[in-house]
Amino acid sequence: MKKLHKLVFKTYVGPFLVTFIVSNFLLLMIWMVKYLEDIIGKGLDFIVIFEMIARGSLNQIPFSLPLAILLSSIMTYGKLGETIELTAMKSLGVSLTKAMRPLLVFTVGLAIGAYFFANNYLPYSNKKLSSLMSDITRTKPELLIPEGVFYNNLKGYTIRIGKKYRDKSIADVLIFDDSNDGKGGFVAADSGSLELSKNGNYLILNLINGNTYKLDKEKIRPGTQRKLPFVKNQFSRNRLIFELTGFTFEKSDPNKRSKHLKNMSNSDIAHHKDSLELKQKKEAFNIVNHLHYKYFFIEDTTFLRDTVTAFSYNELIGSIDSIEDSKRKIIQKTAKETASKLKRKLEVEKKNKQNGAIYIGRHSLEIHKKYSNSIACIIMFFIGAPFGAIVRKGGLGLPVVIGVLLFLLYYVLSTTMYKMGKKGDFDPIWGMWLAPLILSPVGLFLTYKAATDSSIFRKEAYKAVIKRLFKKK
């Protein structure tokens, strides 16, 4: 039996590592496409890019691991079936379920490890990653001023350079001061040079032969329709220095994102959820008390019927009619306004309670997401191993394509239900367990068919049936 375990593991390890690396890389590329515009052209250091890729890769493990288990299981047992090794095992009294046992134990270990990874280390990595991506998004594109284009990424200024040369000299320069609603004036120069300060925090423009145009505020008369007079100053040489704020990458404190649900462990999420539920109950109790004391509710005195003073209908009508029309209108108006105000207040409180319930539901969503992703590893094994044993085809062929399609079904269902649960459109617990519940019967069905030597996916069996039908005719 130990030799059997070694054979199965030896056949499994290679495909598992390859499919895990490839699937993780593909999911990483899909994730990076969303941030491509925020990354390109910002002059980021290699260390920053490496950290982003490394932490992004870790973020894909909850999905890349089930995919790797599915594909490697298909390839492993497909190869064992193709080389008639599964048949040899059965002839020796080793059933398929026994042949699956060593890898099942290994897969269960992977699933448990995946949960602890997602619960203990991944929140810390996500905290670092979300902080890093926020810093990258906030960083302005690298300072590249193209020719003949009005460049306005410098705060408060717009620059146009007519011609740029390799020696960093420039020609036909226009600089507009955008302060004071664009009335800050402008500078025009025939030529000059462009350089950065040693620390890279300032842009220095050395201008040659130009003019500075500014508004003469002393000669402007408020309310007049006359053209605003400019003051023109000619210069042979002029130096302008611009502060480059936001162009350099600066790291922020990742601990500021510790309260995000993705950056918390299940125990922290559960504790936060309990505190929110307690807070919501207190708020509901306070609202009821406020309504009771602010708006007078008549106490039910029906149980005191023997002590109630009886009034006739005519007496009551007389007391109402005795109120003056002006006072009655004021009372009615006040009552309507109070009722309308109370209605609006209750609608706001109802909306707040609904939003609070959705946010509390997100806590359950994140908790069950970690469990369902781990269980998915076991389900994918029960789909891949028997499917490979049935088709008896190893390598990258049609069985692997079918496996990828099954995983895409799981991936689309999981992400869709996660988004719906996050918005409150679907129950968060059912949302996270719907995909595993749908695929579990598929795994059980395939395991049963493989254990009973079913030929459901073998084309030879269908060819034999067709031949028999034609022979009968």
Q: 103-137, pLDDT tens digit by residue?
A: 888 999 999 999 999 998 888 888 888 888 877 77
- Statement: residue 217 has pLDDT above 70: no
Per-residue pLDDT band at 403 (split at 50, 70, 90): confident
- Residue 216 tokens read as 């003469």
The 10s digit of each residue's pLDDT in 299-328 is: 555 555 555 555 555 555 555 555 566 677
Rounded mean pLDDT, 208-234: 68
> Cα(426)–Cα(429) distance, rounded to whole angstroms?
9
From the list 375, 321, 357, the residue with the least C-alpha distance to 118 is 375
Residue 422, pLDDT score? 84
Q: What is the spatial distance between Cα 103 and Cα 111, in angstroms, rounded to a whole number?
A: 12
What are the domain boundaries of the chain? 2-140+368-472, 157-243, 267-363
pLDDT for the residue numbered 311: 56
Contact call for residues 175 and 240 (beta carbons, < 8 A): yes
Specify the pLDDT at position 334. 79
- Pairwise CA distance, residues 155 & 245, whole Å: 8
Neighbours of 114 (CB within 10 A): 22
pLDDT band at residue 70 using 50, 70 and 90 as cut-offs: very high
Start-end of H helices in 295-425: 313-321, 325-391, 398-423
CA 181 – CA 225 distance, rounded (Å): 18
Q: Which comes out higher in pLDDT, residue 219 or 291?
A: 291
Q: Are 194 and 168 in contact (CB under 8 A)?
A: yes
- What is the Cα–Cα distance from 349 to 196, expressed in whole angstroms? 56
Percent of the chain scoring above 70 in pLDDT:
77
The answer to whether residue 87 scores a pLDDT higher than 60 is yes
φ/ψ of 207, rounded to 5, equals: -100, 145
Sheet holding 186-196, edge to edge: 157-164, 169-177, 186-196, 202-215, 230-243
Task: Find the mean pLDDT for residues 180-198.
Answer: 78
Compute the distance between CA of residue 473 and CA of residue 471 in angstroms, rounded to an integer: 5
pLDDT in tens, 335-392: 788 788 888 888 888 888 888 888 888 888 888 899 999 999 999 999 988 888 888 7
- The answer to whether residue 332 scores a pLDDT higher than 60 is yes
Q: Say how far residue 158 (Cα) sits from the centre of its chain.
A: 36
* C-alpha 344: how far from chain center: 34
Q: State mean pLDDT over 34-61.
A: 83
Among 69-83, 186-200, 372-386, name the one with the lowest average pLDDT: 186-200
Q: Note the pLDDT of residue 316.
A: 52
Q: What is the pLDDT of residue 67?
A: 92
In this predicted structure, what is the pLDDT of residue 379? 92
AA letter at 169 = S
Q: Which residues contact 158 (CB under 8 A, 6 or more apart)?
A: 150, 151, 152, 175, 176, 178
What number of other Cβ atoms are within 10 A of residue 100's Cβ?
A: 22
> Is the pLDDT confidence value at 296 over 70?
no
| pTM beyond 0.75 | no
Cα–Cα distance for residue pair 231/284, rounded to 1 Å: 67
Task: Return the bridge partners of 340, or none.
Answer: none
